[in-house]
Chain A
Amino acid sequence: MKFSLFIFCFISALNYAPAQNRTIEVCAKDCEFSSIQKAVNQAQANDSIFIQKGIYKEHNIFINKKSLHLYGEEGSVIDSEYKGYGFKVEATDFSITDLTIKNIEVSYTSDYAAIYLFRCFDFKLKNITLRNAFFGFLIEKSRNGFVLQNDISGTGDSEASSGNAIHLWDSKEIEVRDNHVYNMRDGIYIEFGSNNIFDNNDSHDNMRYGLHFMFSNDNRYSNNSFRNNSAGVAVMFSKRIVMYNNVFKKNWGTASYGLLLKEINDAEIYNNTFEDNTVGITTDGSTRITYRENDFINNGYAVIFIGGSYQNNFIKNNFLYNNFDLSYSGGLNDNSFDNNFWSDYTGYDLDKDGYGDVPYRPVKLFSYLVNNTPESIILLRSLFIDIINFSEKVTPIFTPENLTDQNPLMRKVQW
C-alpha cells in the first residue's frame, strides 16, 4: 500500500513538472519578444515559443542544443528575404509546427534550406508551409523524426536552380507522411538513409524525380502519388526497398519513367498503378525483385529491361493497353512471368480453367526494331508491323524461348 502511494506521488510529480515550462510569446509589438532568435536565445529547455500572426524578417535562426517547441498560427510568416537559411537546428526532442517560411536563398555551392537539421533526434516538423524554397527540409545525420502534413513548393524555374523539398542525408527511422511537394528538383530525396517510411505523400510537377533513393537500404514507401514529374521515382543502388499502393501517373517525356530501378536488389513491388507514363518501369541491373498485383495501364512501354536483370518474378499483374508490354535487351534470362493478365492476349481457354491454353509472348518483334532504330516508331499501328508481329507470334525466332507467360489469365486480376 505504501509502495503504491509512493508510485502515485511519483507519477503526479512527473505530471506536474512540465507545468513549470513557460510559453514565450513572439509578436510584432507589445510582447516579451519581437524577434524569434532572441526568444530562442532566452528560452530554457522544454519551453514553448508561440509565434503570433505577422511577418518576421529573419534568417539563419539558430537553435543550438536546446529542446524547444516552436509553433505559430495562421498568418505566422517568416520571410528570409533570400538571405541564407530559415532555421538551423541542432537539438534533441524539439518541434516546429504551424508556420510559413518563404524566400530562401538560391546558391550553386551551398544547400540553403528553409529548415536545416543537423544531428537532431526525436523531432517533429508539422504543418509547415514553404514558399520559394531552395531546399525545403534538409535533414542530416538525424534519427527518429516525424515530417508531417507540410506543403512545400519552389519557384519551379529551372532544375539547376531548385533544390529538393525534403532531403534526408545519412538519416534513419524518419516518418515522412501526408506531405505535398511540388515545383522542386526532387520531391523527396534519401541519400545513405535506412529504415525510413514514406507514406501518403503527393509529389507532382517536380523537375527531376518525385522520390529518389540513393545508397539507401531497408526503406518503404506506400500510398503516395507521383504525377507529372520528369520521372516518378528513382531507386538507385539500394537494397530491400518495399513499394506498394503507389500511383505513378503522367510522367511523360523523352527520358521519363514511372519508376527507374538502377542496381537494386531484393525489392518488393506490389499493388501499384502505372498509368500514362512514357515507360512504366525501367529496370537496369536489378535482381531478385517481385512484381505482384500491379496495374500497367496505357503506358508507352510497361516494362523495359536493360543490363543484367536476373531472378525477377512477375506474378498476377494486369498489363492493359500498353503500346509495348515488355522490351528486353540481352538474350537468355531467368526472369519469370506467370499468371499475369495481358490485354493483348488473343489465345483461348477451352478447358475453362481461367488460364489461356497457349502461352503469351510479351515481347513483340517490333520492340526490337524500335530499340535499334528509334525512328521506326512511326510505323506503329501500321499493317506492316501487325504482319511482322503476327509472323513472330506464329514462329518465334527473335524472342527468347523462355520469355513467355505459360499461364496467362483470361480475366483481370482483382486486387
Chain B
Amino acid sequence: MNKYIILTFIFISITACDKSAKPINYGEDQCDFCSMGIVQKTHAAQLVTEKGKQHKFDAIECMVNFVKDKSGKFNNATLLVVNYNQPGKMILAESASYLISKNLPSPMGAYLTAFASVSDAEAAQEKLKGEIYQWDNLKKVIKKDIHKIH
C-alpha cells in the first residue's frame, strides 16, 4: 500500500512541475504582448518561466519587447522561437540565428525571422538580402516602435 502512495507522490511531483513548453494553439491563442491572434507558424515565439508559466507571442519582436519591458524578471525563462524552415517547430532563442530583411515581413512589422543555424540564415540572406543577428544583439536592434522606421 505504502508503495502506491509513494508512487502517487512521485507522479504528482513530476507532473506538477511540468516546465516544458505547451504547444501553441494557432488560431485560438493570443499574443501576450500585443493581443493579436497567433496564426503564423513561421513567426511565432514562446516563453516559459522557471515556474512553468506559458507566454505566447505572434511574432519574435513581441517576445523581445516583452522581455525588455520586464528586464531581469525572465532571466531563467526558456525562450523559444519558430524555425522558419520548419514552420511550427520551436527552437531555443539563444541558439537561433535571425534575419532582418525588408523582403520577408513578420507579423508586427520588424521583418524579423528566426533560423535554426547561421548557414540557414545565410542561405535565406542570399535570396532576400538583409542583416543577420544573434539573440544578444537582437535586443539592441529591436525597438518597441520598430514599425516607425518603415
Contact = CB atoms under 8 A, between A and B. Distances in A.
A108 B41 contact: yes
A214 interface: yes
A254 to B, nearest CB: 8
Nearest to A215: B147
Q: Which range contains the number of A residues in contact with the other chain?
A: 20 to 34
B37 A108 contact: no
Contact of B37 (A215, A231, A237): A231
Nearest to A237: B147
Given A214-B109, A215-B150, A160 B37 contact: no
Interface of A: 108-109, 158-160, 169, 185, 191-192, 207-209, 214-215, 230-231, 234, 236-237, 255, 260, 262, 282, 284
A234 B42 contact: no
B105 interface: yes
Contacts of B60: none
A160 B150 contact: no
B36 interface: yes
Nearest to A109: B42
A255 B34 contact: no
Identify whether the interface residues of B are mostly helix, strand, loop, or mixed: loop
B113 to A, nearest CB: 10
Contact of A262 (B35, B39, B109): B35
Contact of A208 (B27, B88, B108): B27
B26 interface: yes
A158 B26 contact: yes
Contacts of A169: 105
Task: Tell which of B26, B27, B105, B108 has the most Cβ of chain A within 10 Å.
Answer: B27
Given A108-B42, A185-B39, A208-B39, A159 B27 contact: yes
Interface in B132-150: 147, 150
Nearest to B27: A159
A399 to B, nearest CB: 25
A230 B37 contact: yes
Contact of B27 (A109, A160, A231, A237): A160
A24 to B, nearest CB: 35
10 contacts: A109-B84, A158-B27, A159-B39, A192-B150, A208-B27, A214-B108, A215-B109, A234-B36, A282-B35, A284-B35
B27 A207 contact: yes
B26 A108 contact: no
A281 B150 CA distance: 29
A43 B36 CA distance: 45
A109 B35 contact: no
B40 interface: yes
B30 interface: yes
A188 to B, nearest CB: 15
Interface in B33-87: 34-37, 39-42, 84, 87
| Minimum-distance CB pairs A-B, first 7 | A159-B27, A108-B87, A160-B26, A208-B37, A215-B147, A159-B39, A255-B30
Given A192-B150, A237-B109, 5 more contacts: A159-B37, A214-B109, A215-B150, A234-B36, A262-B35
A284 B105 CA distance: 24
Interface string B81-114: 0001001100000000000000001001100000
Given A158-B27, A192-B150, A209 B109 contact: no
A262 B34 CA distance: 8
A282 B36 CA distance: 12
Contacts of A208: 27, 37, 39
Contacts of A215: 109, 147, 150
B37 A236 contact: no
Nearest to A262: B35
A284 B108 CA distance: 16
A237 B30 CA distance: 17
A109 B82 CA distance: 12
